[in-house]
Amino acid sequence: MTKTHSLLNNNNDERLEALGNFLRKRREQIKPEDVGITTNGRRRTPGLRREELAQLAGVSVSWYTWLEQGRDISVSDDVLKSIARVLKLEPSEKAHLYQLAKKKEAVVTELSLENMTELQQLLTSFGSNPVYILDKCWNLVLGNQNAYNLFVPASVSNYEELSWREKNLIWGLFTNPYQKELLVDWEVEAKRSVELFRYSSSDYISEKWYIAFINELKEISPQFETWWNDYAIQSPDSKIKHLYHPEVGELVFRVSTLLIPEFTELQLVVYTPTEVKFCEKLLKLLEVSRELPSTVLRDELGG
């Protein structure tokens, strides 16, 4: 049986600041002519002015200004819908706007041994395809043998001794040199991953441990800081990913992210080879002599 509990928001200011920055970034990307506004001469700021957006959304300039300034004011779904319409938000961006504007608590599921066994059986059903399960903050919950052989460098002799940060996929992407060697288009993949991570982990934006995690990653990686401050959002979709493994060479996968209905805060990531020759390399990857921990349990959220 699974147990769920809510995490209390410890820093409401962080959520409100993120809301304001997100709105400002999106407002600056809207061209006045795209919403029927005629401009004369050069404008001092890019995109729409606050008063223009407020008028188009049907709200007062003062109220919208307070919202962008991160003030703690109430906002209705109808108003958010109007703002999203003016900003031409994609579905994932609209969902993120609602998440930031509403005081929702993150829900964490405590997985029992029975649950973990069930999830491990699910991974086994994918055969030699690398597959793993993450929580919303990209902490590894479980992975199969080929996921471990593919994404963990040979220099790691005991995976279970790594800290929870080192097991976190977004952390490893920016701090582990092996990831830059493995991903053929690292910069493209890393930027996309930041957008996916912001979308996935937004429930936790007010948590003290999450704030500390993001700030520490910003200090370590200027690239992460730059992309994080863009406030770009992307929802998971199927895509092609090119990898180069030091022992088996080139691998090309279609990567799919799937939801697990019984565990709403988890996501299943499946790597499917695009050609027969890559299927053969997957079988060769299984010959890599490493031991996958019998059970890869999540550390307590927040470490």
Strand ranges of the sheet holding 140-143, from the earlier edge strand across to the other edge: 140-143, 131-135, 263-273, 249-260, 239-245
Tokens encoding 9: 């928001």
Q: Are 119 and 142 in contact (CB under 8 A)?
A: yes
The end-to-end CA distance of the chain, in Å, is 24
State pLDDT tens for residues 229-254.
Answer: 999 999 888 899 999 998 889 999 99
The Cα–Cα gap between 84 and 124 comes to 42
CA-closest candidate to residue 32, choices 45, 18, 19:
45
Q: pLDDT confidence of 297, banded at 50, 70, 90?
A: very low
**Stretch 150-179: mean pLDDT, rounded?**
89
pLDDT of residue 224: 97
Q: Where in the chain is the domain with CATH 1.10.260.40?
A: 3-106
The Cα–Cα gap between 195 and 233 comes to 5
Residue 145: HSE in the Cβ half-sphere, 13 Å Cα cutoff: 15
Question: Does the domain at residues 111-285 carry the CATH identifier 3.30.450.180?
Answer: yes
The Cα–Cα gap between 11 and 15 comes to 7
Query: CA angle at residue 115 from 114 to 117, to 5 degrees?
Result: 65
pLDDT of residue 206: 85
**Stretch 2-11: mean pLDDT, rounded?**
46
CA-closest candidate to residue 18, choices 200, 212, 196, 232:
232
Q: Where in the chain is the domain with CATH 3.30.450.180?
A: 111-285
The Cα–Cα gap between 222 and 133 comes to 28
Strand-pairing partners, residue 249, are: 245
Pairing of strands 249-260, 263-273: antiparallel
- Whether the model clears a pTM of 0.75, i.e. scores above it, the answer is yes
pLDDT greater than 80 at residue 116 = yes
pLDDT of residue 8: 44
**Stretch 59-85: mean pLDDT, rounded?**
89
Pairing of strands 3-7, 263-273: unpaired
Looking at beta carbons, which pairs linking 11-14 to residues 24 or more positions away fall under 8 Å? 11/206, 11/207, 11/208, 11/211, 12/72, 12/103, 12/206, 13/70, 14/205, 14/206, 14/211
Across the chain, mean pLDDT equals 85
Pick the CATH number of 3-106 from 1.10.3720.10, 1.10.260.40, 1.20.140.10, 3.40.50.1100: 1.10.260.40
The Cα–Cα gap between 67 and 276 comes to 53
